[in-house]
Structure 1
Amino acid sequence: MQSLHELQVAFAGAIVDRDASAIDWTLCGNNTHDRLAVYIGNTYHNLRGALRAVYPVVDRLVGEQFFDYTANRYIRDHPSQSGDIQRFGDSFPAFLASFPPAASLPYLSDTATLEWLAHEVFHAADHAPLPLSELSGLAGAECSTLRLRLHPACRLFASAFPVLKIWQVNQPESPSDESIDAQAGGDRLLVRRVGFAVDIQALPDGEFAMLRALRAGQTIDDAYDLALQRDPGFALGEFIERRILDSTIVGFDL
C-alpha cells in the first residue's frame, strides 16, 4: 500500500500528466478517472488563466486556441514549483523559443520576456529614494569608485526585435492596428515600476550600457567607459542626477 507521501506525489503526477494509472485505485474508490478529471480540468484551467494574465500580448498574437494548446504543453513540461501563483510562468519565454509550433514567430519569445519583466517589476519590492545630498558630500575620487544600486523594481532587456512597439500596439487601449516589421531593428529597454504602474522606456545605447554595467556591480568609472564606447557624447553627470530623481538609482556602495 502506498504511503501518504507516495500517494500525494502520485496524485500530483497524475494531475500534471493527466494519467490516473499511477494512483492506487483501492484508496481512491470507483470512478477514479472521472474524479481525477475534475482536478485535472480545474488545475489546467487555473494555470492557463495565470499564464494568460501575465502574457496577454502573446495570447493576442497567437490566438486563444493556440495559446491554450501551448499553455497545456508548458504546464505538463514545466509544472509549478511554488505555492505562489505569481511565480508561475517564469520559463515560458524560453519554452516558446524552443517550441516548434511557434517557430514561425521568432519575436514571440522576446515579447513574452518583456511581459514577464513587466510582471516581475509590478510585484517587486519597493525602495526609498536616494537623497542627492548623500552623494554631494563625497569626494570626487570616492565618486569614481562608487557602485550605484538600481531600484529592485527595475529590469533591463535587449532584444533583436521591436518588442516595445509590438507590446504597445497590442494593449487593450491601443487604437492602432498597424502592421509591424519584426526585422525593423531591436530595442534596448528599461522596465520599471512607477507608483502602481509599469513604465517601459526605450534607451539609447550609451545609457543602456551604463545601466547594465551598474546592474552588474561595476564602478561608475568602469560603467562610464562602457557607455562612452557606445556613445562618445554620453553625459555622466546628467544621467546620474536624472536617474536618482526618478528613483532608478536608489543607493550606492563605496
Structure 2
Amino acid sequence: MHSLRELQAAFACAILEQDSSRIDGSVCGGNGRERLSVYAGNVYHNLREALRAVYPVVDKLVGEGFFDYAANRYIHDHPSQSGDIQRFGYTFPTFLEHFPPAASLAYLRDTATLEWLVHEAFHAADHAPFPLSLLSNLASAECATLRFELHPACRLFESAFPVLNIWEVNQPDAMSDEVVNMDAGGDRLLVRRVGFAVDIQALTAAEFGMLQALHEGQSVEDAYDRALRCDPAFALGEFIERRILDSTIVDFDL
C-alpha cells in the first residue's frame, strides 16, 4: 500500500513524463493512458500559458511555435517547486541561455530577465512612503552613515544589450516598423512599480552604482563613493531627494 504522498509524487511524475506506466493502473482506472493524457495536456497547457503571460516579449520575438516548444521542454526539465503559480518560470531566462535552438539569440536571456523583473516588481510587497519627519531630526553629521532601504517593488538590472528598446518595440502599442539598433550599447535599468503599473527607467552609470550599493546595504558615504567613480560631478543631494519623492527610497537605518 502506497502512502498518499508517494501516490501524488508518482502521479506528478507520470504527468510530466506523460508516461502512464509510472503509476498503478488502478489510480487512473480503465483507459489509464487516455485519462493521463488529459491531465498532462491540461497541466502543460496551463503552465505554458503562465509562462506566456510573464514573457510576452520573448513569445513575440521567437514566435508561438518556438515558444511552445521551449516552454514544453522547460516544464519537463524544471517542474514547478511552488504552489504559487506566480513563482513559476523564474529560471526561464537561464534556461533560454542554454537552450540550443536559441543559441543565435544572444539577447534573449537578458530580455527574458527584464520581463521576469517586471513580473516580480508587479507582485512585490508594498511599503509606506519615506518618513521625512524622522530624517529631519537627524544631525547632519550622521547622514554619511545612513543606510537607505529601497522599495520592495524595485529591481535593478544591467545588460550588455539594449533590452529596454527591445522591450519597448515589442509592446502591443508599439509601431510595427520600429527596429532596434543592437549596436546601441547596453542598459542600466531601474524597474519599479508605480501604482498599478510597472515603470522601467534608464539610469546613468553613477545612478545605477549608487542604487546598487544602497540595495547591497552600503552606507550613503560608500554608495556615494561608488557613484563618484562613475561621475565626479554626481549630485548626491539632488539624487537622494528625487529618489525619496518618487518612493524608490522608502526607509533608512543607522
TM-score range, shorter chain: over 0.9
Matching residue's letter, 1:113? T
Matching residue's letter, 1:71? A
CA 1:39–1:204: 2 relative to 1, 3 Å: same
Matching residue's letter, 1:90? Y
Q: Which residue of structure 1 aligns with residue 109 of structure 2?
A: 109
Alpha-carbon distance in structure 2 between the residues aligned to 1:12 and 1:61:
31
The CA deviation at 1:176 is 4.3
Matching residue's letter, 1:103? A
Do the aligned partners of 2:28 and 2:36 also contact (CA within 8 Å) in 1? no
Indicate the larger mover: 59-68 or 170-179.
170-179
Matching residue's letter, 1:84? D
CA distances 1:43-86 after superposition (whole Å, capped 9, x unpaired)? 00000000000000000000000000000000001101111111
Q: Which residue of structure 2 aligns with residue 10 of structure 1?
A: 10
Matching residue's letter, 2:71? A
Matching residue's letter, 1:19? D
Tell me, which stretches of 5 or more residues in structure 1 are unaligned? none
The share of aligned pairs that are identical, in percent, is 74
Indicate the larger mover: 215-224 or 181-190.
181-190
Matching residue's letter, 1:241? E
Aligned length: 254
Q: Which residue of structure 1 aligns with residue 133 of structure 2?
A: 133
Q: Does 1:57 align with 2:36?
A: no
Q: Which residue of structure 1 aligns with residue 86 of structure 2?
A: 86
Q: Does 1:195 align with 2:195?
A: yes
Normalization by structure 2: what TM-score?
0.98
Alpha-carbon distance in structure 1 between the residues aligned to 2:74 and 2:91:
9
Q: Does 1:95 align with 2:95?
A: yes
Alpha-carbon distance in structure 2 between the residues aligned to 1:4 and 1:176:
53
Q: Does 1:146 align with 2:133?
A: no
Matching residue's letter, 2:206? G
Q: Which residue of structure 2 aligns with residue 73 of structure 1?
A: 73
Do the aligned partners of 1:2 and 1:24 also contact (CA within 8 Å) in 2? no
Q: Which residue of structure 1 aligns with residue 218 of structure 2?
A: 218
SS at match of 1:200: strand
The CA deviation at 1:3 is 3.0
Matching residue's letter, 1:209? G
5 Å-filtered alignment, 1:168-179, equals 168-179=168-179
Alpha-carbon distance in structure 2 between the residues aligned to 1:227 and 1:137:
26
CA 1:79–1:238: 2 relative to 1, 3 Å: same
Indicate the larger mover: 128-137 or 33-42.
128-137
SS at match of 1:175: coil
Q: Which residue of structure 1 aligns with residue 244 of structure 2?
A: 244
Alpha-carbon distance in structure 2 between the residues aligned to 1:26 and 1:48:
29
Q: Which residue of structure 1 aligns with residue 157 of structure 2?
A: 157
CA 1:27–1:50: 2 relative to 1, 3 Å: closer
SS at match of 1:251: strand
Matching residue's letter, 2:65? Q
Matching residue's letter, 1:23? I
Matching residue's letter, 2:79? P
Q: Which residue of structure 1 aligns with residue 25 of structure 2?
A: 25
Alpha-carbon distance in structure 2 between the residues aligned to 1:161 and 1:173:
22
Matching residue's letter, 1:218? Q
SS at match of 1:198: strand
